[in-house]
Amino acid sequence: MKNFLFLLIAIIILGAVTQPFLPWWSIAVVAGVLAIFFSGRPAPQFFAGFLGVALLWGAYAFFLDGKNGSLLSNQMGQVFNGLSGMGMIIATALIGGFVGGFSAMTGSLGRRMFMKSS
Amino acid sequence: MKIGAFILSLLLTIGLVFLLNTSLPFGGSTLPAIGNFLSPFTGFWQNAKVQSNYTDTTFDFPNLKGKVSVAFDERLVPHIFADHHEDAMFVQGYITAQQRLWQMDISTRSSSGRLAEVLGPNMLDFDKRQRRMGLFEGAKNEEIHWRKDTASLPLVEAYVNGVNTYIENLNPKDYPIEFKLLGYQPEPWSILKMAQFYKSMERALNGRENDLETSNALQAFGSGTFEYLFPQRNPKQTPVIPKGTSWDYLEGGSLEKEYDIPPLLFDSTAIGFSVRNKNYERREKPIDFIGSNNWVVSGAKTKSGNPILCNDPHLQMTLPAIWYEVQISTPRANYYGVSFPGVPGVVIGFNENIAWGTTNGGHDVKDWYKIAWADEEKNHYLLDGKKVPVEKVVEAIKVKGEATVYDTVRYTQFGPIVHENENSPYKDMALKWITNVPDEDNSFKTFWGFSEAKNFDDFLAATEDYGSPNQNFVFASKEGDIALRISGTVPIRKNNGKFIQDGSKSENNWQELLPHDKMPLVKNPQQGFLSSANQNPVDETFPTPMPGIYNHYRGRIINAKLEAMTDITAEDMLAMQVDNSSLLAEELLPLLLKNLDESSLTPLQLGLVRILSDWDFKFERDAIAPFVFEEWRLQFYDLLWDEMAAIESEAPILYPDTWRMIEILETDPLNAFFDVKSTPEREGPKEIATQSFVKMATELKEHFDDSEYKWADYKSTDIKHLARLEPFSRMDINCAGHKESINATQQTAGPSWRMVVELGDEVKAWGVYPGGQSGDPASPFYDDMIPKWADGEYYELFFMKNASDRRQNVLFEYTFSD
């Protein structure tokens, strides 16, 4: 449980620091590499990665959307089959979440494989 | 086992990232890579930061000569105060790019046929058409010419530098939302791109011609009926230059002898002209007549004694809007008005001494020549009996995701062969078009000249530089002068370019261009006002014919109103600019009602008759009568001119003007055209009026049950996004107007800028346009002016006296220094 929280927080912090300067997919590397450092079973690691990136992306989107009064998200939602502005935030969080989750799970499986062989 | 799980998980992760990093097809278009697009650090969420630009900011750019301060007012209009003219242009470029970068990019791509490069193969046919008309070639020639003018070149270059400085400092995450959605990047701005923008305006405003339709009509009906249906002049029309204006200022007197213009003639057999073809490729349905109004009243007619100038150019209404409002103050002048995004200066506006406005001339400056080929490969054509080789220009059109397409265009001495398709009625015809004729004019200089003019002489001098598209420039000065100059380029040629011409004789080519100082001009007329609304420019006493396709109603209403008015105030002019009354309705409806046989009508239909009889001929948005009338008028017109529709199934054909239809209805009700050819009975105006009335009532049946359905719903005005993205468009605007009323608001076109300027000691001005200063859909300034525009209301423009003027609120300031 402790490692779950550590991994989650580490992903949020390292993601927030690196994402503004790196391509979007670098979040997969961040989640995957961090999962190697924190031991844990693949399933909780998946959820830590999922939540970490979903929270990071969702919260930042929510923050930007708030400053904009949802002017843009409401229009973008219409481009994407009639989603609402909040729907766009959720979609953002979900997409980020899955990338983070699978990456962390991969990292976790990699760690186990490495530990076993060494 | 563990290796297997790891590899599976790794592959799954890589696959997911790959999928999210790829553009995928979605509902006919391509979605951007979703991962990048949704990431709040790189994608569209970054565009929600737009308001962070709306705060005091200091910029340092070493290429500036001095300091520039910019105050943004409550509508985000920049007021640029610069110590150097070039710096003002640099900053205008920088700020315009900040607000309108994607619009600048897409409008120039569209003009020069470069859309497929970023939007894909769907746009290839469009691109080819633009290229084949010579628009890209024309822009390249324009650039070469502009570069020769050493006086204006530094200003033009400063603007380009301003735009490019903005682009260079732009992080991809801050690209305008459309670049992200469509998946491409902005490219550097250039003088060539400015020329491309000019070509797009020339395409829109120089494009009015119906040579083929006119030729077919003459061929189908013979000259007697042709002249009966399509008279040269509407006797009720009041030309742009008032009747009785002296042409003494034209040196050398009559031009007619000088140019020896032969009478109208068209001999179809001589050029083997026959376009009837059941499979013919129809031209896109021409959009309704789009025009503009401008007028000016002298101090003698106003309450304050100050001249008042008004202008509302009608264009396709789009988001982002075609205009960008700006005030520019340099040591040379302090001026305010609307500019084209991507082009330096102000196009319509005023300064501390004068005001100017413009409407389109509408003169016919586009001709088609039938080419006689000398060989089957179409590599040579016959000109005066000699074989002349065509010049081949290869247009290389880049296509997104596919190989570059090379399209060979044949150029003759008249111009390019635009259509090669066997079923095109324009096949084997060359296009001679003022838009692509290289000239020595420089329209930039005209607009800078206006901006810095102090009096009539300055204004007149500035019009001399003007090239195209032809415009009616109206003028007023604080000194009390009013004037109107028709400016641009009028070709002198046989048949006035009305018909398809024989391209095997060089004598049919344009012989000369009317010298600019011989273009019509009027100053301080007795009547105390001047106006233009795309009507016939001059009466028959003007020495040179100026054929064209002209409007027949707005000019008459404007002139009648101004004639009758005295003690005019600016408020009167604001109200007049949004006037919805229609002379067309006033003249046609009584005739239709007179001919209507009420004996066969149902009670509901009789109710419609009552609604129409009580109507004041105003196209107000919440009225019912306007849409009943409009539908009836269109049904009546279609039923009456069934003869044209029959021909149209095989060849493009000219339809009579509505004003002429009204004349015929009044004076010649027994005319055979009233007979509907497809029925055994012999119809007259009564039968046509009654049948079309019943048809109208049937067509509109469902709407009569809906008490909410009004004229605004029938007209259905839409302001569409330039990429037709529906969420970024504003549809079904609740607004009044009709194409033949002063407030000429139509379905997609309308008053693109309304401006009224009173030239008192302190210049006062009002304006509004259907859009907003920001081109960014995330900005509250994207569409903020639309409600006021739709309601016929105005903003008082903040014409700052100096950089520290705060009579109106300033939201934030930018400071630029070296």
Please state the domain count of chain B: 1
Strands (E), B331-444: 333-339, 348-351, 354-360, 366-370, 380-383, 386-389, 391-399, 402-411, 429-433
- B649 secondary structure, DSSP code: T
- The pLDDT tens digits of the residues spanning A86-114 come to 999 999 999 999 999 999 999 999 888 87
Half-sphere exposure of B808 (CA within 13 A, CB side): 17
At residue B269, does pLDDT exceed 70?
no
At residue B90, does pLDDT exceed 70?
yes
Q: For B723, phi and psi rounded to 5 degrees?
A: -100, 15
A and B: number of Cβ contacts within 8 A = 117
At residue B184, does pLDDT exceed 80?
yes
SS3 B215: helix
**Which range is most confident: B112-121, B131-140, B527-536?**
B527-536
At residue A84, does pLDDT exceed 50?
yes
Cβ-nearest to A116 among B2, B35, B777: B2
Rounded distance between C-alpha atoms, residue B35 and residue A23, angstroms: 10
- The pLDDT tens digits of the residues spanning B597-621 come to 999 999 999 999 999 999 999 999 9
- The pLDDT tens digits of the residues spanning B544-559 come to 888 899 999 999 999 9
| pLDDT of res. B275 | 56
**Six-digit token string for A51:** 């939540």
Q: For B311, phi and psi rounded to 5 degrees?
A: -155, 130
Q: Please report which confidence band the pLDDT of residue B247 belongs to, taking 50, 70 and 90 as the band edges.
A: confident
Residues of A in contact with B42 (CB under 8 A): 23-24
Rounded distance between C-alpha atoms, residue A14 and residue A30, angstroms: 7
CB contact under 8 A, B41 and A103: no
Residues 6+ apart with CB under 8 A from A82: none
| pLDDT of res. B461 | 95
Rounded distance between C-alpha atoms, residue A22 and residue A107, angstroms: 20
Q: Averaged over A29-50, what is the pLDDT?
A: 92
Rounded distance between C-alpha atoms, residue B453 and residue B457, angstroms: 8
Helix residue spans in B260-354 (DSSP H): none
Residue B696: inside a domain: yes
Cβ-nearest to A99 among B10, B16, B52: B16
**Which range is most confident: B75-84, B364-373, B720-729?**
B75-84
Q: Are strands B429-433 and B402-411 parallel, antiparallel or unpaired?
A: unpaired
Q: Kindly report the nearest CA distance between residue A2 and chain B, in angstroms.
A: 23
For chain B, the straight-line distance linking the first and the last C-alpha, in angstroms and rounded, comes to 66
CB contact under 8 A, B777 and A98: no
Rounded distance between C-alpha atoms, residue B130 and residue B200, angstroms: 10
Cβ-nearest to B51 among A67, A92, A96: A67
Q: Averaged over B719-724, what is the pLDDT?
A: 94
Q: Please report which confidence band the pLDDT of residue B259 belongs to, taking 50, 70 and 90 as the band edges.
A: very low
| pLDDT of res. B262 | 44
Closest residue in chain B to residue A109, using alpha carbons only: B6
Rounded distance between C-alpha atoms, residue B593 and residue B605, angstroms: 12
Residue B677: inside a domain: yes
Size of chain B in residues? 818
CB contact under 8 A, A98 and B16: yes
Q: Averaged over B146-175, what is the pLDDT?
A: 94
At residue B23, does pLDDT exceed 90?
no
Q: Kindly report the nearest CA distance between residue B171 and chain A, in angstroms.
A: 10
Residues of B in contact with A42 (CB under 8 A): 5, 9
Instruction: Find residues 29-88 of chain A whose CB sits inside 8 Å of chain B.
Output: 32, 42, 57, 60-61, 64-65, 67-69, 71-73, 75-79
- The pLDDT tens digits of the residues spanning B187-238 come to 999 999 999 999 999 988 988 888 888 888 888 888 889 999 999 889 999 9
- The pLDDT tens digits of the residues spanning B795-806 come to 999 999 999 999
Handedness of CA B190, B191, B192, B195 (dihedral sign): positive
Cβ-nearest to A113 among B2, B48, B778: B2
B779 in reach of chain A (CB within 8 A): yes
Q: Are A27 and A58 in contact (CB under 8 A)?
A: no
Rounded distance between C-alpha atoms, residue B61 and residue B86, angstroms: 13
Q: Averaged over B308-319, what is the pLDDT?
A: 96
Nearest to residue B278, comparing CAs of B576, B651, B547, B590? B651
Q: Please report which confidence band the pLDDT of residue B284 belongs to, taking 50, 70 and 90 as the band edges.
A: low
Rounded distance between C-alpha atoms, residue A42 and residue A62, angstroms: 29
Handedness of CA B525, B528, B534, B535 (dihedral sign): negative
B6 in reach of chain A (CB within 8 A): yes
CB contact under 8 A, B51 and A68: yes
Q: Which of A46, A67, A72, A117 has the highest number of chain B CBs within 10 A, making it the mutation to test binding with B?
A: A72
| pLDDT of res. A52 | 96
B54 in reach of chain A (CB within 8 A): no
Q: For B456, phi and psi rounded to 5 degrees?
A: -60, -40
Nearest to residue B757, comparing CAs of B317, B335, B359, B240? B335
A114 in reach of chain B (CB within 8 A): no
Cβ-nearest to A19 among B6, B20, B41: B41
| pLDDT of res. A106 | 94
Helix residue spans in B321-455 (DSSP H): 443-452
Rounded distance between C-alpha atoms, residue B630 and residue B747, angstroms: 13
Q: What is the DSSP string of A4-55?
A: HHHHHHHHHHHHHHHTTTS-TTHHHHHHHHHHHHS---HHHHHHHHHHHHHH
Q: Could you state, in order of their start, the residue ranges of all structural domains in chain A? A: 2-117
Residue B404: inside a domain: no
Closest residue in chain A to residue B178, using alpha carbons only: A76
Predicted-complex ipTM score: 0.96
SS3 B120: coil
B679 in reach of chain A (CB within 8 A): no
Q: Please report which confidence band the pLDDT of residue B89 belongs to, taking 50, 70 and 90 as the band edges.
A: very high
Mean pLDDT of chain B: 92
| pLDDT of res. B252 | 54
CB contact under 8 A, B38 and A68: no
| pLDDT of res. B260 | 45
Q: Kindly report the nearest CA distance between residue A3 and chain B, in angstroms.
A: 20
Q: Averaged over B728-753, what is the pLDDT?
A: 96
CB contact under 8 A, B9 and A69: no
Range of the domain at B600: 583-617+624-709
- The pLDDT tens digits of the residues spanning B405-420 come to 999 999 999 999 999 8
